[in-house]
């Protein structure tokens, strides 16, 4: 997916609709397959026998198998199969259990309210820089117990590393991603050394939990430990930033739905699910076929690479009535924004909580917020969100 027109970044959905209708198992020029139907994605997510998340075969030529980007993306939770996936997921999920998530809520409310106070004092804001991106950085910083004074580089590192996941990779983007992994690893080595000497509370401190897991039969190598700390930041940062930013932009774009939410704040829960469906933060997933199979009568050989188009599946008319209509009360809402099956997002409950509190409290404080100048979308295919979203807060 390269040489795309500018219009695609603003609105990819007409392209996705055309493929979904006429060619739902589309063969790309490189021989890989691009799938757009909800039922196909759901079936593949559930089938870990025939479809692998391991990216070593795909990423070796993309990054070079001696690169830090290759090491990172082939060691982190999301691009692995069991047993590594099982070990790491169990450790992370243990720190994100329902009780732990509930205990985060007061601190999250306090954080959001401080950001709202700061914006109110100025009367205008960039919803990405001043609000949406600031929330997950603090949340993930707290999860890893990263000192507040060390958090300034986190967002930049995350953006550079995730930028290298885009389907079309330039030398400059790759170099920036490689540098970001190296700088983050250097920081984490010192942090891990200190945390081993002074462990935190493993119920809340994910880094301590990963370290202590080494002595409880779920051993992670040093590289696995460090790279999955980077993964936690990346997985929890940009997608949640996009959820909040996309959600607030949708309330600007659809004033009738904004008024519904103002009139009935209890709709915030289904509203967040609808924002995730309508503008999925993560638009694409991938799998590799590990045994000859077929999808809807189409033969797929072992070794084939598959792109799963979440953005298309979440607007599949076979699953969603009037899929092009934003309906904050939509139920049921079987979107795939968090994937599904064994690889469903490990932090989905936390992301939902962040979205509900951030968007709900913002709208309660600033019900008449309005666009101020042009919003700019990131020129990315895999991750969908804004780089700037200026508003007035009257």
What pLDDT does residue 336 have?
99
Find the CATH number of the domain harbouring 150: 1.10.630.10
Query: Per the domain annotation, does 351 fall within a domain?
Result: yes
What pLDDT does residue 116 have?
99
Q: Please tell me the number of Cα atoms within 13 Å of 272 on its side-chain side.
A: 24
Q: Which residues on neighbouring strands pair with residue 295, listed in sequence order?
A: 298
Query: Per the domain annotation, does 1 fall within a domain?
Result: no
| Rounded Cα distance, 105 and 121, in Å | 24
| Rounded Cα distance, 382 and 393, in Å | 31
* Number of domains within the chain: 1
Query: Per the domain annotation, does 285 fall within a domain?
Result: yes
Query: Per the domain annotation, does 40 fall within a domain?
Result: yes
Query: Per the domain annotation, does 120 fall within a domain?
Result: yes
Query: Per the domain annotation, does 239 fall within a domain?
Result: yes
| Rounded Cα distance, 321 and 122, in Å | 41
What pLDDT does residue 1 have?
63
DSSP H or E segment with residue 371: strand 370-371
CB atoms within 10 A of CB 186: 10
Asked, as a colleague might, if the bond just before 83 is cis with ω within 30 of 0, I would say: yes
In Å, how far are 69, 77, 82, 225, 287 from 89, measured between CA atoms? 21, 7, 10, 12, 18
Q: How far apart are the first and last CA of the chain?
A: 41
Query: Per the domain annotation, does 227 fall within a domain?
Result: yes
Domain limits at 254? 6-392
What pLDDT does residue 218 have?
62
DSSP H or E segment with residue 245: helix 222-253
Q: What's the whole-model pTM score?
A: 0.95
Query: Per the domain annotation, does 333 fall within a domain?
Result: yes
What pLDDT does residue 214 have?
55
Residues in the chain, how many? 394
Per run of 10 residues, the mean pLDDT along the chain (length 394 residues) is 84 98 96 97 96 94 95 92 87 86 95 98 97 96 94 95 91 97 97 94 87 70 92 92 99 99 99 99 97 94 97 99 98 98 94 98 98 94 97 93
- The alpha carbon of residue 88 and the mean position of all alpha carbons in its chain are separated, in whole angstroms, by 18
| Rounded Cα distance, 210 and 265, in Å | 38
In Å, how far are 25, 32, 81 from 288, measured between CA atoms? 15, 10, 11
């Amino acid at each position: 997916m390269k040489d795309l027109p500018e219009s695609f970044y603003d609105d990819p959905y007409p392209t996705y609709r055309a493929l979904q209708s006429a060619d739902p198992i589309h063969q790309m020029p490189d021989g890989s397959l691009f799938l757009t139907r909800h039922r196909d994605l759901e079936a593949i997510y559930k089938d870990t026998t025939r479809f692998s998340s391991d990216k070593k075969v795909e990423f070796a030529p993309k990054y070079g198998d001696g690169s830090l980007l290759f090491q990172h993306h082939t060691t982190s939770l999301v691009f692995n199969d069991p047993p590594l996936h099982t070990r790491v997921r169990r450790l992370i999920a243990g720190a994100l259990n329902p009780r732990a998530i509930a205990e985060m809520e007061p601190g999250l409310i306090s954080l959001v309210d401080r950001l709202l106070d700061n914006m109110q004092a100025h009367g205008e804001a960039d919803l990405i820089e001043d609000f949406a991106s600031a929330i997950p950085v603090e949340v993930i910083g707290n999860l890893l117990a990263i000192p507040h004074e060390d958090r300034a580089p986190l967002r930049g590192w995350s953006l550079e590393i995730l930028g290298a996941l885009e389907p079309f990779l330039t030398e400059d983007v790759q170099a920036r991603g490689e540098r970001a992994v190296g700088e983050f690893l250097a920081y984490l080595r010192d942090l891990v050394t200190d945390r081993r000497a002074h462990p935190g509370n493993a119920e809340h401190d994910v880094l301590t939990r990963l370290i202590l897991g080494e002595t409880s039969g779920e051993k992670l190598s040093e590289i696995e430990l460090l790279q999955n700390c980077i993964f936690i930041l990346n997985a929890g940062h940009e997608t949640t930033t996009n959820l909040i930013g996309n959600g607030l932009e949708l309330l600007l774009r659809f004033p009738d739905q904004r008024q519904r939410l103002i009139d009935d704040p209890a709709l915030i829960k289904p509203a967040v699910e609808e924002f995730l469906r309508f503008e999925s933060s993560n638009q694409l997933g991938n799998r590799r076929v590990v045994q000859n199979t077929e999808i809807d009568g189409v033969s797929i050989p072992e070794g084939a690479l598959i792109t799963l188009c979440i953005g298309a599946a979440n607007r599949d008319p076979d699953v969603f009535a009037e899929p092009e209509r934003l309906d904050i009360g939509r139920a049921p809402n079987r979107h795939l924004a968090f994937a599904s099956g064994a690889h469903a997002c490990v932090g989905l409950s936390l992301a939902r909580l962040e979205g509900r509190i951030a968007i709900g409290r913002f709208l309660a404080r600033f019900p008449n917020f309005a666009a101020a100048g042009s919003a700019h979308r990131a020129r990315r295919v895999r991750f969908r969100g804004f780089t700037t979203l200026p508003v007035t807060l009257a």
